[in-house]
Structure 1
Amino acid sequence: MPHFPINHPARPIYRVLSGLIGLYILVFGVWGTALTWGEPLFARNSNWALGLRTNLAFSLVSVVFGIVLIVGASRRGNLGHYMNLTAGIVFLVTSILMMSVLQTAANFLNFSMSTVVVSMLFGLILLGTGLYDKVGPPEHAEAERNRRYHPVAEIHRRH
């Protein structure tokens, strides 16, 4: 059974962090869309927005992802938890896949190495925030604390 901390005390900080990442991605997407508007969707030009290379397709996807992350960060329930976990995995997988095709014609999102690094960093941060921003009733949080400080766990911790 996976262990996700419930009602973690730093949850508001994690929500702000994922919201700031969403805001950056949204601004990047809007800027990139304005910059690449009128070009082919999957162009491989040298268009840069906020330090990352982009094309119209990547910019439009970034607008959608930015909005999704901001919505997830603004909700008090577990919607943000699931959105951050999913977005973290999507960012990590996308960065690895795009890195593998970086110098080929298959680089349809026009990634550069800096885009790969930023996507990987955002993926790791979003995955981390998703792991710690789960919400639950106080009884579940109390049961988790009791399980964490169970006498058997204390014996294993000492060794």
Structure 2
Amino acid sequence: MDFRDELPVDHRLARVYRVGAGLCGAALLVFGCLGLTDGLAYFSTHGERIAGLSSNGLLSLISIVFAVVLIAGAVIGGNVASTVNIVVGTLFVLSGFVNLALLDSGANFLAFGMSNVVFSFVTGLVIATFGMYGRVSSKLPHDNPYWQRRHPQPGASEARRPVAITPRPAGTGLGRTSL
């Protein structure tokens, strides 16, 4: 299945995916660039405050990488942006859990503080929600391309079924049945 087959190019959901990826990517890009311009040590476990969050050079660099991924998804748009948002959002939430376990330890190589953990959870949920908007729900409208993909037209499945000819007793019909 090709991603572009499912969502029409001009569908209104594509704007939601693009805006979500673009805004979150821009915020991460600003955070990462601020950290790199301050000349933070790359592997400091205590970090410095940047925009209210603890950061070191490695976290700033990782933030820029994820910003580029999100912005690339926004430029491509459509299902690619949606999928990128879902994957990156999930990674942010997982990062929040991992770094929560590493707080106040020598293995805190990204210099996370509690504010970073909360930011990771909230940002991850926001990014993933942008990606899932209009794609994952039990109450999608019937004009939604994802709903239509999951619920083909009532005659479409019948047309795809092969027809077998079976012998029938004389006078009982045409002798054709669906498999």
Report if aligned partners of 1:19, 1:69 keep a CA contact under 8 Å in 2: yes
More helix per residue: 1
Report if aligned partners of 1:11, 1:133 keep a CA contact under 8 Å in 2: no
Counterpart for residue 73 of structure 1: 74
6 and 29 in structure 1: CA distance in 2 versus 1, 3 angstrom threshold: same
Instruction: Tell me the distance in 2 between the aligned counterparts of 1:74 and 1:42.
Output: 32
Larger Rg computed on CA atoms? 2
Counterpart for residue 45 of structure 2: 44
48 and 143 in structure 1: CA distance in 2 versus 1, 3 angstrom threshold: closer
1:30 to 14, 33, 42: 33
- Deviation string 1:96-124 (CA, Å, 9 cap, x unpaired) is 10011111111110001111111111111
TM-score (norm 2): 0.67
Q: Tell which deviates more after alignment, 43-52 or 122-131.
A: 43-52
Larger relative contact order (Cα-Cα within 8 Å, sequence gap ≥ 6): 1
Counterpart for residue 144 of structure 1: 148
TM-score (norm 1): 0.75
Counterpart for residue 63 of structure 2: 62
- The share of aligned pairs that are identical, in percent, is 34
101 and 45 in structure 1: CA distance in 2 versus 1, 3 angstrom threshold: closer
Aligned residues: 140
- Deviation string 1:10-34 (CA, Å, 9 cap, x unpaired) is 5423421331111010010011011
